[in-house]
């Protein structure tokens, strides 16, 4: 039979080996459990949406990055984020939703971008949003960094900083120049601060029409440094009489003072006035999160406050605040930085290697272990000892139970620790205790 030659996963599409997948799934689990610890509830929307829904905001601008689907008369496409499906869901189910609606969603999204290193065409987003009906207290903006801190401190990425800003400070400042019509362009340039030189930024701002004084004062604004308290004082000292600007300072002040209650170590969050988020739907608080040791990862968790989630689908005013972790990308970056070793190629806590033909006692033992919630694998192939041990070595299981005539007769099990070669003889009860105590140590 003729074989198909091209059998790799499509370029730009993640496909982990099972060892890495175990770690990845563990990340997903940690994230979901942490989100739930803050009262977020799960949502799982269809992968496919109507184009009309997906392009409501952009009018089809992003169409070339979208995977379109041919099917009958409907114009369909794969979702490119989890925010649009959330907006549609909330609009469609408004009357049944309890507000504030705290939902999390951990699912794949799709972007048909040019394939390049560190960019994925299919990737997991791990989102939370809190949606209010008509209004949403600013305290929610302060709880979000606490969630970020809880999640990321469990993912073994080392120290990180949650950078916080309020976009009203930037947009108010731009407005004070009389440039509010070009605010989006200014913000897009400011957003590139980490990636371009000061000179490049100055040139780009000049190109869209800012004069030298304006550029200088904007640059001063976005590079304000010091403690959070110091930055807030410097902002006020600027004495800019723009309503939006002042409101931004006030909101940021409230958010920062409330964050302080949440027990996040001081090093882990700071005001950074240059954080603007390129996307234009944020209207207040914005967040980006950077690894201290690996700033090249870029922002590993971003988000912010928006005024109206679902304006294209409902006339209800639905303000919200949320964040997203691009987990697939983060995982690959961590893998490359050797923060993930992928040693574990199995979830099995113990592998039973039968050395007898009659497996009655072997299966009985496996039944008991599984009933005690021990992940137990039996090697069922009729192979020689060398092949059996070879399999045990390759899957990287820590404990192997050798079940021969002696063990079955005596009721004493032979447990081999594959990490150090040690072999001990113990009862079934002792075995269960040992494996469970190991599990507690790993927690």
Query: Which 3 state secondary structure label does DSSP give 274?
Result: coil
* 197, 213, 315, 420: which one binds its own copies (CB under 8 A): 315
**13 to 52: interface string for its own copies, x by CB under 8 A:** xxxxxxx-xx-xx----------xxxxxxxxxxxxxxx-x
Q: How far is the CB of 365 from its own copies (least distance, A)?
A: 11
CB of 190 to its own copies, least distance (A): 28
SS3 at position 124: strand
Q: How many helices (H) and strands (E) are present in the chain, helices listed first? A: 15, 16
- Tell me which of 27, 31, 53, 186 binds its own copies, using CB under 8 A: 53
Residues 58-87 that bind its own copies (CB under 8 A): 67-71, 74, 76, 78
Nearer to its own copies, 101 or 173 (CB): 101
Residues 393-412 that bind its own copies (CB under 8 A): 394-395
Maximum distance among all Cα pairs of the chain, rounded to whole angstroms: 90
| Range in contact with its own copies (rule: CB under 8 A) among 224-232, 276-284, 291-299, 371-379 | 371-379
What is the smallest separation between the CB atom of 17 and its own copies, expressed in angstroms?
A: 7
**Do the Cβ atoms of 264 and 149 come closer than 8 Å?**
yes
Residue range at the interface with its own copies (CB under 8 A); choices 137-145, 166-174, 186-194, 399-407: 137-145
Question: What are the residues facing 376 on neighbouring strands?
Answer: 350
Q: In this chain, which of 80, 81, 86, 102 binds its own copies, going by CB under 8 A?
A: 102
Residue 54 or 205 having the CB closest to its own copies: 54
100 binds its own copies (CB under 8 A): yes
| 174 forms part of the interface with its own copies (CB under 8 A) | no
CA atoms within 13 A on the CB side of 179: 21
Size of residue set near its own copies by CB under 8 A: 99
Minimum separation from the CB atom of position 390 to its own copies (A): 9
Is 167 in contact with 273 (CB distance < 8 Å)? no
Given 80, 82, 86, 103, the residue binding its own copies (CB under 8 A) = 103
* Residue with the two structure tokens 């997203």: 324
Site for its own copies in 105-134 (CB under 8 A): 108, 110, 112, 122, 132
Q: Which of 143, 244, 272, 288 binds its own copies (CB under 8 A)?
A: 143
What is the footprint of its own copies within residues 318-357 (CB under 8 A)? 345-348, 351
Closest distance between its own copies and the C-beta of residue 142, in Å? 9
**Which residue blocks in 43-138 are alpha helix, DSSP H?**
51-54, 83-92
DSSP letter (8 states) at residue 316: S
Lookup: tokens for 311: 């304006």
Rounded least distance, CB 46 to its own copies, Å: 4
Please, are residues 97 and 312 in contact by the beta-carbon 8 Å criterion? no
Phi/psi region, residue 194 (left: phi>0; alpha: psi -120 to 50; beta: rest), is alpha
Residue from 115, 54, 120 nearest 82 by CA: 54
Q: Which is nearer to its own copies, 298 or 304 (CB)?
A: 304
Element housing 378 (H / E): strand 376-378
Which H helix or E strand runs over 326? strand 320-326
Q: How far is CA 46 from CA 78, 92, 135, 291, in A?
A: 9, 14, 28, 33
Residues 293-312 that bind its own copies (CB under 8 A): 311-312
Distance between first and last Cα of the chain: 50
The span from the CA of 321 to the CA of 195, in Å, is 26
The alpha carbon torsion through 27, 28, 30, 34 (nearest 10 deg) reads 140
Kindly tell me which of 6 and 384 has the beta carbon lying closer to its own copies.
6
In the range 202-221, which residues lie near its own copies by CB under 8 A?
none
| Contact flags string 255-294 toward its own copies, x per CB under 8 A | ---x--xxx-------------------------------
């Amino acid at each position: 039979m003729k074989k198909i030659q091209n059998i790799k996963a499509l370029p730009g599409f993640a496909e982990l080996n099972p060892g890495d997948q175990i770690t990845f799934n563990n990340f997903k689990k940690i994230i979901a459990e942490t989100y739930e610890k803050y009262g977020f509830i799960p949502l799982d929307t269809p992968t496919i949406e109507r184009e009309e829904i997906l392009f409501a905001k952009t009018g089809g601008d992003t169409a070339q990055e979208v995977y379109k689907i041919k099917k009958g008369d409907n114009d369909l496409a794969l979702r490119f984020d989890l925010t649009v499906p959330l907006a549609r869901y909330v609009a469609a189910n408004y009357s049944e939703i309890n507000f504030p609606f705290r939902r999390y969603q951990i699912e794949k999204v799709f972007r048909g971008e040019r394939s390049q290193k560190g960019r994925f065409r299919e990737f997991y987003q791990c989102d939370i949003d809190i949606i209010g009906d008509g209004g949403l207290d600013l305290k929610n903006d302060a709880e979000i960094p606490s969630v970020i801190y809880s999640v990321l401190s469990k993912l073994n990425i080392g120290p990180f900083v949650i950078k916080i800003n309020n976009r009203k400070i930037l947009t108010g400042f731009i407005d004070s120049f009389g440039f509010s019509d070009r605010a989006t362009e200014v913000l897009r340039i400011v957003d590139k601060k980490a990636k371009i030189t000061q000179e490049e930024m100055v040139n780009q701002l000049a190109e869209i029409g800012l004069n030298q004084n304006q550029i200088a004062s904007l640059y001063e604004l976005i590079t304000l440094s010091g403690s959070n308290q110091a930055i807030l004082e410097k902002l006020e000292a600027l004495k800019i009489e723009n309503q939006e600007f002042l409101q931004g300072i006030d909101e940021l002040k409230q958010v920062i003072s409330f964050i302080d209650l949440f027990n996040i170590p001081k090093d882990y969050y700071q005001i950074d006035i240059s954080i603007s988020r390129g996307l234009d739907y944020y209207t207040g608080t914005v967040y980006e999160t950077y690894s201290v040791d690996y700033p090249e990862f870029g922002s590993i968790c971003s988000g912010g406050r928006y005024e109206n989630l679902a304006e294209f689908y409902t006339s209800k005013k639905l303000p919200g605040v949320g964040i997203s972790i691009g987990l697939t990308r983060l995982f690959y970056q961590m893998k490359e930085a050797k923060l993930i070793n992928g040693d574990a190629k199995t979830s099995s806590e113990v592998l039973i290697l039968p050395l007898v033909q009659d497996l009655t006692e072997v299966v009985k033992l496996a039944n008991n272990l599984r009933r005690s919630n021990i992940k137990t694998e039996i090697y069922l192939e009729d192979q020689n000892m060398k092949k059996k041990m070879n399999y045990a070595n390759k899957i990287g299981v820590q404990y192997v139970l050798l079940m021969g005539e002696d063990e079955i007769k005596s009721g004493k099990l032979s447990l081999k620790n594959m990490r150090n070669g040690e072999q001990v003889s113990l009862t079934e009860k002792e075995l269960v205790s040992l494996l469970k105590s190991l599990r507690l140590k790993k927690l």
